[in-house]
Structure 1
Amino acid sequence: MRLVFLLLLFYHAIGLGQFVNLNESDFSKADSISFSYKGHSLRNLPVLTYKLTKDLTKDVEKFRAIFTWVCTNIENDYQSYLKTRKKRKRIQKDRAGFLEWNQSFTPKVFEKLVSEKRTACTGYAYLIKEMANLAGFQSKIVNGYGRTPTLLLSENDPPNHSWNTVQLDDQWYLCDATWAAGRIMLDADGPRFEADYDDVYFLPNPELFAKNHYPLESELSLLEELPTLTDFIVAAVIYKASFRFGIAPILPEKMHQEVLRDVSTSFELKIPEGLDVKKFRLALNNGGKDVEVQPKIIFLGPGKIQMDYTFNRTGLYDTHIVFNGDKIATYVVKVRRN
């Protein structure tokens, strides 16, 4: 308990988690440097880190160059993920044992990463930490639960994901290189990695990040208060566009909802000021294709809106909140008779 308390004091003293507004930041130079070293060997990490950061002055730019290089040069290895998941499942009830195993396991992962440039999330997180440390930044590996539209969780599931915290200019930030690098496609011929770098998981808003990342050590969420794991598991599913536009679902708190036909149903969102709310839609799917409908928009105050819609037919609906054509979040709504 004393260690947790000291960690909480430490994070509070230096400032809780921050995030970078990507729309207001110019990382073109950092990204250009990263791309210029595409394919560079991992055999000498100090040299690679120096090359990526030597011509940049700001800490956030230096870390951006590291993050972009890792995300665009390392392939996500699904088979390694499955092996790691099996081990995690065997020791999931021993939290201290899990953390100890994970710490000893990461160097072994790194050996394969250096030779093949392929790894699972543990390897991504280890590489980010090592290169950040070499650049003079503190960084930690965070172990916990990741939740995606195709990766739902139950209370009995073992921890399934790893990501990082990093300290830049006396502030702590979050990042997830694994999810930023691309996606695993489950085809008929087996799983394959599809590279698709997206920087929405580069120093994101901690409050939004906590909607699909749940750390085993709550202080590493960089939030003053973290929801319970149960609340995390049953909440609405969110998509990358949620990070891109800075839109966070607030209510309902649970993804699965039961409502009455011909009675208004509400969805509450936190949005950036100045966002064009006319671009919001609901996309309903009752077993066929998505059908977009126009909800009623109500302003609840600065940075907060409510979307109202009345279902006039019974049934089970995948109900997607859509902004400018991109899915933000999904609820499953069961509509029954009055």
Structure 2
Amino acid sequence: MTIADSGAAMAAGADRPEQDLVLEVRDVRVRFPMLRDWRGRVVQSAHALNGIDLRIRRGEAFGIVGESGCGKSTLAQVLMGLLPPTDGDVRRLPRGDGRPANIQIVFQDPQSSLDPRLPAWKVIVEPVVVRGRRPAPGQAARQGKAALRARAAELAVQVGLRPETLDRYVHEFSGGQRQRIAIARALSSDPDVIVLDEPTSALDVSVQAQILNLLQDLRRRYGLTYVLISHNVSVVRHLCDRVAVMYLGQIVEQGMASAVLESPRHPYTRELLDAVPRLDRPWVEDAPAAPVELPGNRALPAGCFFRERCPWATQGCERPQSLLCDADALQHLFRCHVAQK
């Protein structure tokens, strides 16, 4: 069964009604001008995203994985509205009050993403000040510095920080504590969606587990929606309900995390998972070694983007590949005609 790219994401979210969606990405493409002629016309571009379709449901954790340079961080910027797409659009579905979904982000490196000139409590409530957040219905209006300080202390407790430490500056905290400050900062404006851009990659393994458990707890407590950008398959396996695998600005496989990570269909997903050391199985080299360098994105490959690296490339791979699905697994999509066979 073949599904056009523009309709593939519809199939992936077909079991939920429209009102359960919080984000919808339609055929998003991003090109960065790299070379201009003497008239200023663009003659060469870097193709960062090449037709991304996604439907993110309320309350789920959606993972996006892929190697460095595949377009994950560019997609995160597009979702946040920090980078306008060249083509396509991103819809933030309305909340109960009619306003578009509120999206916040937790960056990879809290040291560089948090303002070093402000004490921690001001860092935490900065989005509240910028957005001019009003008190929720039924709450007493709390105004001024004391109200913001109380809000920061409340959020600090929720993320596992002691309120009495909030007068310190960011550099006085450990890496794990700084990431907790970043999470509290994202929570301060009552978001619907939090984009997590490699939130644990700069932390020690033991601290990573603490942060992941904290994120799980906050999601259950507040019904948050997560979009997790990561190259760490183990983190995605632990946190996410659904996952999309990106390669060269395209989604090459998408579905429930258990299906994609345990029974991958696309050759690139298999290669990505085989690169992760596992103690529960011996290393089996069942395919010839393939080049590991990501092709340049200034001139996109003809046909299947993964064809030059794929050990199972065959006739038909020279044609562009649409997202496919099995009749018995409509939510498991893959961009490979060989995998369907």
Q: TM-score, normalised by structure 2?
A: 0.31
Higher helix share: 1
Q: Specify which structure has the bigger relative contact order, considering alpha-carbon pairs within 8 angstroms and separated by 6 or more residues.
A: 2
Higher strand share: 1
